[in-house]
């Protein structure tokens, strides 16, 4: 059990880095970093997620895709 409890923070950190990388690819470097920073802020992140769920879209939009920009 002790080894498992020592491993949990590392698993959480790896998951957070994977989510950060995915968000930065979708939204761009600055927008993705800002979105991730707001999400991990304890109270603000929860409020932001609830508000986005109620609105049905993100406050910080994804960057335009190449296919949609060519039209």
pTM, two decimals, is 0.69
The residue whose two tokens read 């409020």 is 47
- Answer yes or no: is 71 within a domain: no
Domain that holds residue 45: 29-59
CB 19 within 8 A of CB 36: yes
- Answer yes or no: is 4 within a domain: no
Q: For residue range 28-68, list pLDDT tens digits in order.
A: 999 999 998 888 888 888 899 999 999 999 999 998 877 66
Q: Which residues contact 31 (CB under 8 A, 6 or more apart)?
A: 60, 61, 63
- Answer yes or no: is 6 within a domain: no
- Answer yes or no: is 16 within a domain: no
* Token digits of residue 45: 């992140």
- Answer yes or no: is 45 within a domain: yes
- Answer yes or no: is 3 within a domain: no
The total number of structural domains that make up the chain: 1
Q: Is the pLDDT of residue 69 over 60?
A: no
Task: Give the residue among 29, 31, 19 at the shortest CA–CA distance from 59.
Answer: 31
- Answer yes or no: is 40 within a domain: yes
- Answer yes or no: is 39 within a domain: yes
**45 burial via Cβ count (<10 Å: 0-12, 13-18, 19+):** middle
């Amino acid at each position: 059990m002790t080894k498992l409890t020592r491993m949990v923070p590392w698993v959480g950190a790896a998951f957070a880095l994977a989510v950060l990388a995915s968000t930065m690819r979708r939204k761009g470097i600055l927008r993705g970093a800002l979105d991730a920073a707001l999400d991990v802020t304890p109270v603000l992140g929860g409020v932001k997620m609830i508000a986005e769920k109620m609105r049905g879209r993100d406050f910080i939009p994804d960057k335009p895709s190449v296919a949609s920009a060519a039209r």
